[in-house]
Amino acid sequence: RSRAKIIEAERPTTGFTDIAGYDGVKQEISEVVDFLRNPGRYAAAGAKGPRGVIMVGPPGTGKTLFARAVAGEADVPFLSVTGSAFVEMFVGVGASRVRDLFDEARKRGPSIIFIDEIDAVGGRRGGGTRLGGNDEREQTLNQLLAEMDGFDQSSGIVVLAATNRPDALDPALLRPGRFDRQVTVPLPNQAERAAILAVHARGKTLGPGVDLDAVARGTPGFSGADLANLVNEAAINAVRADRATLVQGDLDTARDRVLLGRRETSNALL
Ligand code: ATP
């Protein structure tokens, strides 16, 4: 595998308007945007800007979307990597990938580094078995800690990370100057589900009988990703019926299909 594939670099155009609901999360995370836009203001006041933020929440709640939107709002590059990509069989590979990642960011100046599934590399050290790659993982984590401690505040690099298992993280990661901020990204409530459905219905033609509030009421426990999937399935239903307009039946059928898919996935995990 080449390095280029492991570290994805992009210049997102995503913004907070692409994220429905979650006003509290937007507010908390907008400080990062502010810092990236004016790092000098923090330096002038002798203030340390945010360095690492961990987003905690179940799968599909928009953590990646939030990270991308922060980069989009601040108009800075977005470098992303999945925690599991660091974990390799060969000792030293993970650590050198961490080094590459931060080198890439430093080259670009103010930027967002996003580490998805940080628990894959940032799990507690020293616990569990010493079998297979544990030392490798420790080295990788140590390198990550060293990079977080080492980068200069004026570089304007902020590291965002996501996990759904915050209690599994090594406490060293959460110390001041590292990932010292946590933002919870929970499943959406009913009003937020309606708003997420509306975001994904943008650009689609809805029939007069479509009631997104009713769909929101009928989808407790659905994540943003599930709802995006639901709207797309509904549009596919319309295509199958040779219509360009989505009707309520398309959404109802799509809801059942997404529910079934979720059940099958969770059965497969058992
Ligand atoms: P995972 O933990 O599985 O990586 P995640 O929390 O990073 O999931 P995303 O990949 O960001 O979730 O979300 C998946 C998709 O769900 C998004 O690309 C978007 O289409 C949709 N989505 C999630 N939350 C929202 C939201 N609040 N508003 C609009 N769309 C949303």
The CA distance from 130 to 156, in Å, is: 37
Strands (E), the chain: 8-10, 52-56, 78-82, 111-116, 157-163, 181-184, 205-206, 245-246
Tell whether ligand 1 has an atom less than 6 A from the beta carbon of residue 83: no
The CA distance from 155 to 135, in Å, is: 31
Tell whether ligand 1 has an atom less than 6 A from the beta carbon of residue 160: no
Tell whether ligand 1 has an atom less than 6 A from the beta carbon of residue 20: yes
Of ligand 1's atoms, which has the minimum distance to the CA of residue 192?
Answer: 27
pLDDT in tens, the chain (270 residues): 444 467 888 999 999 999 999 999 999 999 999 999 988 888 888 888 889 999 999 999 999 999 999 999 999 999 999 888 887 667 778 889 899 999 999 999 899 999 999 998 877 776 554 444 567 788 888 999 999 888 776 788 999 999 999 888 999 999 988 998 999 999 999 999 999 999 999 999 999 999 999 999 999 999 999 999 999 999 999 999 999 999 999 999 999 999 988 777 766 665
Tell whether ligand 1 has an atom less than 6 A from the beta carbon of residue 72: no
- Ligand 1 centroid to residue 161 C-alpha, Å: 14
Tell whether ligand 1 has an atom less than 6 A from the beta carbon of residue 65: yes
Per-residue pLDDT, 1? 46
Per-residue pLDDT, 67? 97
Quick check: 157 and 111 in contact, CB under 8 A? yes
- Ligand 1 centroid to residue 61 C-alpha, Å: 5
Structure tokens that stand for 52 in this block: 């690492």
Find, among 194, 191, 183, 223, the residue nearest to 29 by Cα.
183
pTM: 0.88
Of ligand 1's atoms, which has the minimum distance to the CA of residue 22?
Answer: 27
The CA distance from 50 to 159, in Å, is: 9
Per-residue pLDDT, 2? 47
Of ligand 1's atoms, which has the minimum distance to the CA of residue 19?
Answer: 28
Per-residue pLDDT, 5? 62
The CA distance from 162 to 182, in Å, is: 10
